[in-house]
Amino acid sequence: MSLRDQIDMARLPQHIAVIMDGNGRWAKEKGKMRVFGHQNGVVAVRDTVEGAVELGIPYLTLYAFSTENWNRPKLEVYALMELLVSTINKETKTLMKNGVRLNAIGDLKSLPPKCYNELQEAIRKTSENTRCTLTLALSYSSRWEIANAAKSIAEEVKDGKIKLDDVTEELFASKLCTAEMPDPELMIRTSGEHRISNYLLWQLAYSELYFTQKLWPDFRREDLQEAIIDFQKRERRFGMTSEQVN
């Protein structure tokens, strides 16, 4: 039975979040510069997005650049930003063809203007697409996002727009960058690292975590399918007992 046939289409995760990790190590294994790994990471992004669209996953969120990644060598940061611009530019057509709406979360204003503008343009062009929302986390960190949400709520309380008692989990979630999407049900990290690296800390509260040794440039739709099959074998209890959820 093919991987695809093993997937229960009635129980697909509605939102999959991915930490695309291992580009540098992939390049190093081949005796190449880290940037070569990032370039080949684009191939994996394309295949994963197509794999998600093909299955009918409504939300896919990819961690592309963290706030902490700004601390990498200048040359690598520059190359990543250049790659982002050229990729968005090249891939917009494919996003349109596949009905993918592009979205971005993070401190986007901190991106180089060329990147920011290219991104906004692609977001605008694809805004009517409805098959899948592809969110890129760029210059993103969860602590930044949570601190921002707290600040915006504090401001509303101070200005008398809301009362202290209005501050609920729902209100808090509505102030996060992900307000319009369901929480990820499945989070995949490649490259064998078992950590969250400041990604969607609030939203991952009850996500199933899936780790694979594969380095990101080698990740393909079949790997996504394997992760989904694994996800579907798990029992999600949300604090209850096994008997309760069955």
Q: Cα(first)–Cα(last) distance of the chain, in Å?
A: 27
Number of H helices, E strands in the chain: 8, 6
Can residue 23 be called a binding residue for ligand IPE (CB under 6 A)? yes
Q: Are 225 and 51 a contacting pair, CB within 8 Å?
A: yes
Q: If DSSP codes are grouped into helix, strand and coil, which group holds residue 105?
A: strand
Q: Are 105 and 159 a contacting pair, CB within 8 Å?
A: no
Choice from 12, 13, 21, 132 touching Mg ion (CB under 5 A): 21
Q: Residue count at the site for ligand IPE (CB under 6 A)? A: 18
Smallest distance, Mg ion to C-beta of residue 65, A: 11
Question: What distance in Å separates the CA atoms of residue 115 and residue 84, rounded to the nearest whole number?
Answer: 7
Q: Find which of ligand IPE, Mg ion, none residue 39 binds, CB within 5 to 8 Å per kind.
A: none
Can residue 66 be called a binding residue for ligand IPE (CB under 6 A)? yes
Among the listed residues 159, 239, 235, 146, the one whose alpha carbon sits nearest the alpha carbon of residue 198: 146
Q: Is 183 a catalytic residue?
A: no
Concatenating the DSSP letter of every residue in 179-228 gives: TTSPPPSEEEE-TT----TTSSTTTTTTPEEEE-SS-GGG--HHHHHHHH
Judged by CB under 5 A, which stretch of 14-22, 137-145, 208-216, 231-239 contacts Mg ion?
14-22
Smallest distance, ligand IPE to C-beta of residue 65, A: 5
Exactly one of 5, 8, 21, 198 is catalytic; name it.
21
Residue 11, CA distances (Å) to 72, 108, 160 in order? 40, 34, 43
Can residue 226 be called a binding residue for Mg ion (CB under 5 A)? no
Question: What distance in Å separates the CA atoms of residue 86 and residue 101, rounded to the nearest whole number?
Answer: 18
Choice from 15, 16, 21, 178 touching ligand IPE (CB under 6 A): 21
Q: Which helix (H) or strand (E) holds 83?
A: helix 74-98
Can residue 195 be called a binding residue for ligand IPE (CB under 6 A)? yes
Looking at beta carbons only, is 21 or 223 nearer to Mg ion?
Answer: 21
Choice from 3, 7, 14, 25 touching ligand IPE (CB under 6 A): 25
Q: Are 130 and 98 a contacting pair, CB within 8 Å?
A: no
Q: Is 21 a catalytic residue?
A: yes
Question: What distance in Å separates the CA atoms of residue 123 and residue 103, rounded to the nearest whole number?
Answer: 6
Q: Find which of Mg ion, ligand IPE, none residue 23 binds, CB within 5 to 8 Å per kind.
A: ligand IPE
Looking at beta carbons only, is 63 or 219 nearer to ligand IPE?
Answer: 63
Smallest distance, ligand IPE to C-beta of residue 77, A: 9
Looking at beta carbons only, is 21 or 50 nearer to Mg ion?
Answer: 21
Please identify the residue of the shown chain whose CB is closest to the bound ligand IPE: 24
What is the binding site for ligand IPE (CB under 6 A)? 19-25, 63-66, 69, 80, 191, 193, 195, 197, 216
What is the binding site for Mg ion (CB under 5 A)? 21
Q: Which residues are catalytic?
A: 21, 69
